[in-house]
Amino acid sequence: MIPFLIIGILRILGFDGLYGQDAYEYLRYTNAILEYLQSGKHPGNYFWPVLYPTLGSLLTFIFGDTSFALQFISCLSFSICGIYSLKTLQLLYPKDHFHFFYVLIFGILCPFLLKMGLIIMSDALTMVFVILSFYFFFRAYYNKKSLVPVFVFATAALMTRYASLFITFPIILFALYLIFTNSKFQQLLIASLLSLIVTIPFFIFQWGALFEVSSNYFLNAWSFTNYFKSSYTTQDGTASFIFPNLIFTFYVFFHPGFIFIGSILSLITLRNYTSLNKFHHIILLTSCGLYIFFLAGIPFQNPRILGLVFPLILIIMFPAFVSLMKIKNIRRFLIPIGIGCITLQLIFFTMTFKPLFSRTIIEKELVTMIQPYQGKTLYSFDVDLALQGRGLVFDYKNLYLQRYYNFQKNDLILFDPIRYQVQWKNKTPMLNWEFIEKNYKLKILANHPKGWKLYQIR
């Protein structure tokens, strides 16, 4: 209920889950699939897996609003993830207490995870498929239940975010081992058929781009040397960070955006390292480690991509939390401590969510600002997908995609050179802007207080 309540409040305040280029690309392709379902026109190839936009297109028939359908999927996924994180803890630690208290404060109110449940991205959907895969795996291992859901949900995670394979790979291997050693071939057959159904959207929409995943820029740029780098120049420009990648990937254990008492829980866990030899701990640590060390080799940093394994990290550190709760003074003041923790989480959430909210409001303001000038050629960068996604009609030219040398009188340019002068120095967007500024006279038609200006070629 918490994320749905927050979504309602945010929509009243003007936030609809759309911010930045990725969200609008999900929106665009969801609408393209919707058109395919109605007219048969193929939506074309797509860079990411298509399960998220496919589900979004189906829900649009119910809600009548594509952006709300996609945001609803994220919110529902986050809620289910919280439920099954709780069920997994109860399954693995049935004799312990504080399961609900732990999941509520450090799962449901986790700033980065809660943010994932409010935006139009595939993160929350991937995360719920990951936790479902592990829940049903442990249930099958400890309670001798069917392994079929493990394969189905792991496939669904893969069809939502390819990188999830690094998380689920250990349990897929072990599930296959259990099937072959116990001759459960009927389960494998059923799992294969159901998993094939899950992959149908992939084969319909991405068959023509079946091997394009190998051309992914960041995948090809993977290197062990990136473990120790904190500054990169990539196709996304130049970016510098405080810590090298290897340290960044361990944010998931201690960053306040994930868990502000993570350092304490990590130390307790390491002190009681002998408890980590339990089967479920070995599996969880292997899966998290595989994913973390994969991410460390990619030349970028974004806490959002770490969130996929955070529910598993919570499960690993739960015994440490139980040990903490056994301290007499903590149990004595449990209610005020709980209120304090909730307050801190809401403060951290506000801090991490504010830039997203501001970005959405700015994009809406830019739409209003340039709406009267529709129908002309518009050169832009970064916000062009937002303008298209919100329905403005221009002949769009993206300053990132190529160099332009022949601009026409009355062409429009929406740009903020100061914003991009460092990250995109000597890159296509700034080179195009510098060429325009040097060779053409510009008239400012509109100003946005955050720096964007609408120029006209004179």
**pLDDT tens figures, 306-315:** 999 999 999 9
User: Is 60 exceeded by the pLDDT of residue 361?
Assistant: yes
Average pLDDT, the chain: 91
User: How do residues 132-165 score in pLDDT, each as one tens digit?
Assistant: 999 999 999 999 999 999 999 999 999 999 999 9
- Tokens coding 130: 């990951």
**pLDDT-based confidence at 234, cuts 50/70/90?**
confident
- What's this model's pTM, rounded to 2 decimal places? 0.93
**Mean pLDDT to the nearest integer, 212-216:** 59
pLDDT of residue 210: 59
- Tokens coding 219: 């995948």
User: Is 70 exceeded by the pLDDT of residue 215?
Assistant: no
**pLDDT-based confidence at 209, cuts 50/70/90?**
low
**pLDDT-based confidence at 7, cuts 50/70/90?**
confident
pLDDT of residue 188: 94
